[in-house]
Chains A and B, each alone.
Chain A
Amino acid sequence: MTDASINARDKSTPHISGLTEAEAAGIQIFEKPAPGSWTESFGLSTGPVSFEDDYDPEFYEDEKQAVFRRSWLNIGRVEQLPRNGTYFTKELQFLRTSVLVIRGMDGEIRAFHNVCSHRGNRLMWDENPSEESSGSCRQISCKYHGWRYELDGEISYVHNAPEFFDLKAEDLALPKIHCDVWAGFVYINLDKEPRQTLREFLTPTLEKFETYPFEKMPRVYHFETEVEANWKLFMDAFQELYHVPYVHGKVTNAALAQTGVDKVPQMIPYFGAYGKHRLMTTGGAKANKGVRVRRPIDALFEANFIGTDYTPDIGSLGDGVNPAGIENWGVDSWQLYPNSVIIAWSSNYWYTYHYWPLSPTRHRFEWTVGFAEPTTIRERLAQEHALVMMREGILQDANTLEATQLGIMSEGRTEFYLCDQEVALRHLHEVVKADVDAYRAEKGK
Chain B
Amino acid sequence: MRNTTMTTEALLPPEFADLEPFAADWVLPTLEERLQRRLVTPMVELHAFYDAVFPRAEAAMTYLDQFDVNDVPETARNLMVLLYSLSVVSVATEVFSSQRDPNAGTTWINEVSEPAT
Chain A residues near B (Cβ < 8 Å):
218-225, 227, 250-251, 295-297, 300-301, 365, 367, 374-381, 384-385, 387-389, 391-392, 394-396, 398-399, 402
Point out the residues of chain B lying under 8 angstroms from A394, CB to CB. 109
Query: What CA separation (Å) do A385 and B112 show in the bound complex?
Result: 18
B residues 71-117 with Cβ under 8 Å of A?
72, 80, 83-84, 86-88, 90-91, 94-96, 101, 103-105, 107-115, 117
- Across the interface, B90 reaches (CB within 8 A) one of A224, A297, A367, A387, namely A297
- Across the interface, A250 reaches (CB within 8 A) one of B57, B95, B105, B108, namely B95
The answer to whether A398 and B111 touch across the interface, beta carbons within 8 angstroms, is no
Query: What CA separation (Å) do A136 and B84 show in the bound complex?
Result: 33
The answer to whether A396 and B69 touch across the interface, beta carbons within 8 angstroms, is no
- Across the interface, B58 reaches (CB within 8 A) one of A300, A376, A379, A391, namely A300
A interface majority secondary structure:
helix
Known pairs A378-B65, A381-B80; A222 contacts B111 (CB<8 A): yes
Answer whether residue B24 sits at the interface, using C-beta atoms and an 8 A cutoff: no
The answer to whether B113 and A221 touch across the interface, beta carbons within 8 angstroms, is yes
Point out the residues of chain B lying under 8 angstroms from A378, CB to CB. 61, 64-65
Chain B residues near A (Cβ < 8 Å):
31, 54, 57-58, 61, 64-65, 67, 69, 72, 80, 83-84, 86-88, 90-91, 94-96, 101, 103-105, 107-115, 117
- Across the interface, A221 reaches (CB within 8 A) one of B96, B104, B114, namely B114
Query: What CA separation (Å) do A189 and B104 show in the bound complex?
Result: 36
Q: Give the top 5 A-B pairs by smallest Cβ distance, nearest first.
A: A297-B90, A385-B87, A377-B64, A219-B115, A225-B109
- Across the interface, B86 reaches (CB within 8 A) one of A297, A367, A399, namely A297
Residue of B whose beta carbon sits closest to that of A251: B95
The answer to whether B87 and A222 touch across the interface, beta carbons within 8 angstroms, is no
The answer to whether B31 and A387 touch across the interface, beta carbons within 8 angstroms, is yes
The answer to whether A224 and B87 touch across the interface, beta carbons within 8 angstroms, is no
Query: What CA separation (Å) do A379 and B91 show in the bound complex?
Result: 20
The answer to whether B64 and A250 touch across the interface, beta carbons within 8 angstroms, is no
A377-B64, A388-B84 given. 8 additional CB < 8 A pairs? Answer: A221-B113, A223-B112, A224-B110, A224-B112, A378-B61, A379-B69, A396-B104, A399-B104
Point out the residues of chain A lying under 8 angstroms from B114, CB to CB. 221-222
The answer to whether B84 and A296 touch across the interface, beta carbons within 8 angstroms, is no
The answer to whether B87 and A395 touch across the interface, beta carbons within 8 angstroms, is no
Output the least CB separation between A381 and chain B (Å): 6
Output the least CB separation between B72 and chain A (Å): 7
Output the least CB separation between B31 and chain A (Å): 7
Residue of B whose beta carbon sits closest to that of A375: B69
The answer to whether B109 and A395 touch across the interface, beta carbons within 8 angstroms, is yes
Output the least CB separation between A29 and chain B (Å): 29
5 A-B contacts (beta carbon < 8 Å): A220-B113, A222-B112, A374-B69, A377-B64, A402-B107
Point out the residues of chain A lying under 8 angstroms from B58, CB to CB. 300
Point out the residues of chain A lying under 8 angstroms from B31, CB to CB. 221, 384, 387-388, 391
Query: What CA separation (Å) do A221 and B84 show in the bound complex?
Result: 15
Known pairs A376-B65, A377-B65, A381-B84; A225 contacts B108 (CB<8 A): yes
The answer to whether A399 and B105 touch across the interface, beta carbons within 8 angstroms, is yes
- Across the interface, B69 reaches (CB within 8 A) one of A223, A376, A387, namely A376
Query: What CA separation (Å) do A384 and B108 show in the bound complex?
Result: 18
- Across the interface, B107 reaches (CB within 8 A) one of A224, A300, A399, namely A399
